[in-house]
Amino acid sequence: MAKGLDDIHMQVMWNRLISVVEEQALTLVRTAFSTSVREAGDLSAGVFDVAGRMLAQAVTGTPGHVNAMAESVGHFITDIGPGNILENDVYITNDPWKGTGHLHDVTVVTPVFRKRALIGYFACTAHVVDVGGRGFGPDGRDVHEEGLFIPIMKLFREGAVNRDLILIVRANVREADKVVGDLYALAACNETGMKRLFAMMDEFGFDDLDGIGSFILERSDRATRALIAELPRGRHTNAMTLDGYDEPVHLAVTLEIEEDRIKADFTGTSEVSRWGINVPLVYCKAYACYGLKCVVAPEIPNNAASLAPFEISAPPGCILNAEPPAPVSVRHVLGHFVPDLVMGALAGALPDRVPAEGSGALWNIQFSVRPLPSNTTGRPAEMLLFNSGGTGARPTLDGLNATAFPSGVMTMPAEATEQVGPLVVWRKELRDGSGGAGRHRGGLGQVIEIAAANGYEIAFNAMFDRTNHPARGRKGGRPGRAGTVGLDDGTKLAPKGRQSVPVGRRLVLGMPGGGGHGDPRERAPASIEADLAHDYIEAAQRADYEPRN
Distance of CA 62 to the CA centre of its chain: 5
Q: How many C-beta atoms surround the C-beta of residue 427 within 10 A?
A: 13
314 lies in a domain? no
Distance of CA 537 to the CA centre of its chain: 29
The domain containing residue 133 runs over which residues? 2-221
CA–CA separation, 91 and 484 (whole Å): 42
CA–CA separation, 236 and 254 (whole Å): 6
CA–CA separation, 525 and 351 (whole Å): 25
Give residue 549's pLDDT: 60
Q: Is 78 in contact with 91 (CB distance < 8 Å)?
A: no
122 lies in a domain? yes
237 lies in a domain? no
305 lies in a domain? no
Distance of CA 227 to the CA centre of its chain: 25
CA–CA separation, 549 and 528 (whole Å): 20
Give residue 360's pLDDT: 97
Interacting residues of 219 by C-beta distance below 8 A, sequence separation 6+: none
221, 252, 280: which is the final residue of a domain?
221
Give residue 540's pLDDT: 86
Biggest CA pair distance of the chain? 79
Q: Is 64 in contact with 101 (CB distance < 8 Å)?
A: yes
444 lies in a domain? yes
Give residue 276's pLDDT: 98
Number of domains in the chain: 2
pLDDT tens for the chain, 549 residues long, are 345 558 898 999 999 999 999 999 999 999 999 888 988 889 999 999 999 999 999 988 899 999 999 999 999 999 999 999 999 999 999 999 999 999 999 999 999 999 999 999 999 999 998 999 999 999 999 999 999 999 999 999 999 999 999 999 999 999 999 999 999 999 999 999 999 999 999 999 999 999 999 999 999 999 999 999 999 999 999 999 999 999 999 999 999 999 999 999 999 999 999 999 999 999 999 999 999 999 999 999 999 999 999 999 999 999 999 999 999 999 999 999 999 999 999 999 999 999 999 999 999 999 999 999 999 999 999 999 999 999 999 999 999 999 999 999 988 889 988 998 999 999 999 999 999 999 999 999 999 999 999 999 999 999 999 999 999 999 999 999 999 999 999 999 999 999 999 999 999 999 999 999 999 999 999 999 999 999 999 988 888 998 866
Give residue 1's pLDDT: 33
Residues counted in the chain? 549
**Long-range contact pairs involving 113-120 (C-beta distance under 8 Å, separation at least 24):** 113/87, 114/198, 114/201, 114/207, 114/208, 115/207, 116/87, 117/207, 117/208, 118/50, 118/85, 119/50, 119/207, 119/208, 119/209, 120/47, 120/48, 120/49, 120/50, 120/55, 120/208, 120/209, 120/213
Q: How many C-beta atoms surround the C-beta of residue 177 within 10 A?
A: 10
450 lies in a domain? yes
Q: What is the pTM of this model?
A: 0.96
Give residue 60's pLDDT: 86
310 lies in a domain? no
166, 192, 221: which is the final residue of a domain?
221
161, 194, 221: which is the final residue of a domain?
221
Give residue 7's pLDDT: 86
188 lies in a domain? yes
